[in-house]
Amino acid sequence: MPLARNLLAAGVIDDKIYVIGGIQGAIGGVYATNQQYTPIDYIPEFQPFIILPLLLVASFIAIICKNELTKN
């Protein structure tokens, strides 16, 4: 985080970390900033609705290739 802070609130939404509020040091000023953090090398996971169509397409291609190879 660009701002070092204490007594903050944090949460995760859609694989991103959000940091809200906080104070500077032990008795410092109050931060009125919100920050979002996403790691540089972050790769999102496949969504469940994508995996089934990919498996169906891969199975279909495997069947077609097997049929073509057995014809020769």
Which tokens hold the place of 70? 């057995």
Helix (H, G, I), strand (E, B) or coil at 53: helix
In this predicted structure, what is the pLDDT of residue 47?
A: 66
Distance of CA 57 to the CA centre of its chain: 25
- Has residue 56 been placed in a domain? yes
Side-chain half-sphere exposure of 9, counting CA atoms within 13 A: 7
- Has residue 61 been placed in a domain? yes
pLDDT tens-place string over residues 2-61: 777 888 888 888 778 888 888 877 677 777 778 888 877 777 766 667 777 888 888 888
- Has residue 44 been placed in a domain? yes
Per-residue confidence band for 71, with pLDDT thresholds at 50, 70 and 90: confident
In this predicted structure, what is the pLDDT of residue 46?
A: 60
| Identity of the amino acid at 38 | T
- Has residue 3 been placed in a domain? no
In this predicted structure, what is the pLDDT of residue 72?
A: 60
- Has residue 1 been placed in a domain? no
In this predicted structure, what is the pLDDT of residue 48?
A: 66
- What range defines the domain where residue 15 resides? 9-71
- Has residue 34 been placed in a domain? yes
- Has residue 2 been placed in a domain? no
Model pTM score: 0.48
Per the structure, the count of domains in the chain is 1
